[in-house]
Structure 1
Amino acid sequence: MPVTPRITHIALHVSDIDACIAFYRDFCGMAVIHERHSAHQTIAWMAEPDRETDFIFVLMNGGRDLDLPDNDYRHFGFALESREAVDRIADRADKAGCLVWAPRDEPFPVGYYCGMRDPNGNYVEFSYGQPLGPGAEDFARLQRTD
């Protein structure tokens, strides 16, 4: 029987692991679920609540900052429960000086989203209206009835 791979984690080398941990905790609601230190290496596993065995970010010190242009759309995507939630997090990011993409609407399946830069330069998107994450079943149902 063939084995179907399943994504479990993304590993990132970052220049300031403490700043990245704080970012993903404060903006993404993730928590450190494992941390280890050696003479030259710190590794932290971060997960969303109740997803600790499903999908994690592995953060490792020793990386270099990224310098992505604003029109580079590689990113990590997080779903939110409403357009208002996207607006609120965009406002927080703007005040923190890390907003890259102001809230905007795009045709299905993209939806309403904004983007920010984490302390290492990775882009992070927060969206509402995609057929992924919170409310995905509602959007799938709407697409079938249109």
Structure 2
Amino acid sequence: MSTSARITHLALHVTDMAACVTFYQDFCGMRIIHERHSSRQTISWMAEPGRERDFIFVLMDGGQDLNLPDNDYRHFGFALDSREAVDRIAQQAEKAGCLVWAPRDEPFPVGYYCGLRDPNGNYVEFSYGQPLGPGADAFEQLLQG
């Protein structure tokens, strides 16, 4: 087995392609980098600017709503550059009616985060201070005393 494997994409079937594309554009800053249409399906590749060769979401129409309960914590995680940025996303999500987890602080390594529901029912976390992304250095310094 190869130890050099790395994750490159996540593929999701969605019920409303346009709504999901808009959600990931508006809340995550992603953009469509490839799209193709056939007589039976639309497939959109989305990525964060500058990360098009690193990691993408592949959205395919023809899915079902997930209907996850509020206490189901499976999610996609996006790092933000400050606690204030988490608060802004949460306020935007509350106005849009898609906030599921209000901003909260958790011990390391979780940090400060909130959670949204995308139009297909997937949960999307926005965090600051996790060991992956902005704010990680501050927590690393705390660990080292």
Common fold: TM-score over 0.5: yes
Q: CA deviation at 1:52?
A: 0.1
- Structure 1's unaligned 5+ residue stretches are none
Q: CA deviation at 1:136?
A: 2.4
Stretches (4+) displaced over 3 A: none
Alignment-derived partner of residue 58 in structure 1: 58
Alignment-derived partner of residue 90 in structure 1: 90
**When the two structures are aligned, how many residues end up with a matched partner?**
145
The CA RMSD over aligned residues, in Å, is 1.2
Alignment-derived partner of residue 77 in structure 1: 77
Alignment-derived partner of residue 126 in structure 1: 126
Alignment-derived partner of residue 68 in structure 1: 68
> Does 2:23 correspond to 1:33?
no
- Secondary structure of the structure 2 residue equivalent to 1:104: strand
Q: CA deviation at 1:3?
A: 4.3
Matched to 1:106, the amino acid is E
- Structure 2's unaligned 5+ residue stretches are none
- 2-11 or 113-122, which deviates more: 2-11
Percent of counterpart pairs with the same letter? 77
Q: Is this contact kept in 1: 2:16–2:120, CA < 8 A?
A: yes
Q: Is this contact kept in 1: 2:35–2:43, CA < 8 A?
A: yes
Alignment-derived partner of residue 103 in structure 2: 103
- Secondary structure of the structure 2 residue equivalent to 1:22: helix
TM-score between both structures, scaled by the size of structure 2: 0.96
CA distance in 2, matches of 1:112, 1:137: 14
1:4-23 maps to which residues of 2 (within 5 A)? 4-23=4-23
CA distance in 1, matches of 2:44, 2:18: 10
Residue by residue, what CA displacement relative to the aligned partner does 1:89-119 show, whole Å, maximum 9, x if unpaired? 1000000000000000100000000000000
